[in-house]
Amino acid sequence: MTQKVIIDTDPGQDDAVAILLALASPELEVLGITAVAGNVPLPLTQKNARIVCELAGRTDIPVFAGCEAPLKRQLVTAEHVHGKTGLDGIDLPDPRMPLQQTNAVDFIVDTLRTQPSGSVTLCPLGPLTNIAAAFQRAPDVAGRVQRIVLMGGAYFEVGNITPAAEFNIFVDPEAAETVFGSGVGLVVMPLDVTHKALVTRPRIEAFRSLGTKVGHAVAAWTDFFERFDKEKYGSEGAPLHDPAVIAYLLEPELFAGRRINVEIETRSDLTRGMTVADWWGVTDRKANAVFMGDVDAETFFALLVQRISSL
């Protein structure tokens, strides 16, 4: 039974690898890719999403543009991590496949209303603006979502864009508050787990030695993407954040976490976007998310290389 998914994304090299993993996996039916402003502005994220689909030879996948700014705040981008284009590391041709005319938020609402209730998984890989906008515009659709598997947040690992907050949640905390308060089943891949999935040199070489266009692109992207984290954390390799979301759909047993309460800080400037995760169960706040803390990194990368070798 294939899983129907919508990938909401702000490509970004790690988003690109996540999209490739999804398109290389027959277990998943990608109903559409919705772009959101995040790592780079919307005109680039929607263009990059199409570049990745073309790289995978999947121009059949509809790509939509959604929100160009957070619900209530100024957009904060991350060119310092992803480069000016958002996909720095390799020059790929501009996309020829068209952008869909329908707005991404309308596509999410319409798809959730037309697909059988409980049959669609949402996979946000960037700020949660499009998802929250859909739930606010059409409150009936939240109950029709099977589950949301997202990359975002941090607890033990604390922040990567501020001392307190991870980028996706920091950019649009109000959107995150809407999603985490929606009652939809959540699986969260925070920095706590993605920082255990580091693209070390041998792993980059494993992509490059595929000898394919896609393998070469993934190696170039992860090579580029590494320098920010290496400088900051001194880590051997960049954390490959977003592919964890797709890998969870394919092999959930690779991950371990706890079902806990997670609230989003929206009021303080100092801790805006912090995911206040009750990992130790010290409150009586209702659990609303499975918050991941560990991953079998070796098997995760073996899965990635194996699937991407098929493109």
Q: What is the binding site for ligand RIB (CB under 6 A)?
A: 10, 12, 14-15, 38-39, 125-126, 151, 160, 166-168, 241-242
For ligand RIB, the closer of residues 144 and 275 by Cβ is 275
Binding of Ca ion by 15 (CB under 5 A): yes
Least CB distance from residue 285 to ligand RIB, whole Å? 24
For ligand RIB, the closer of residues 167 and 255 by Cβ is 167
The one of Ca ion, ligand RIB, none whose footprint includes residue 153, by CB under 5 to 8 A per kind, is none
The one of ligand RIB, Ca ion, none whose footprint includes residue 220, by CB under 5 to 8 A per kind, is none
For ligand RIB, the closer of residues 160 and 261 by Cβ is 160
Which window, 124-132, 189-197, 225-233, 266-274, contacts Ca ion (CB under 5 A)?
124-132
The one of ligand RIB, Ca ion, none whose footprint includes residue 131, by CB under 5 to 8 A per kind, is none
The Cα 305–Cα 203 span in angstroms is: 9
The number of residues making up the chain comes to: 311
Binding of Ca ion by 12 (CB under 5 A): yes
> Is 241 an active-site residue?
yes
Least CB distance from residue 7 to Ca ion, whole Å? 10
For residue 150, what are its two tokens?
């997202």
Least CB distance from residue 235 to ligand RIB, whole Å? 14
The Cα 211–Cα 217 span in angstroms is: 10
Q: Which of 70, 126, 159, 215 binds Ca ion (CB under 5 A)?
A: 126
Catalytically active residues, by annotation: 241
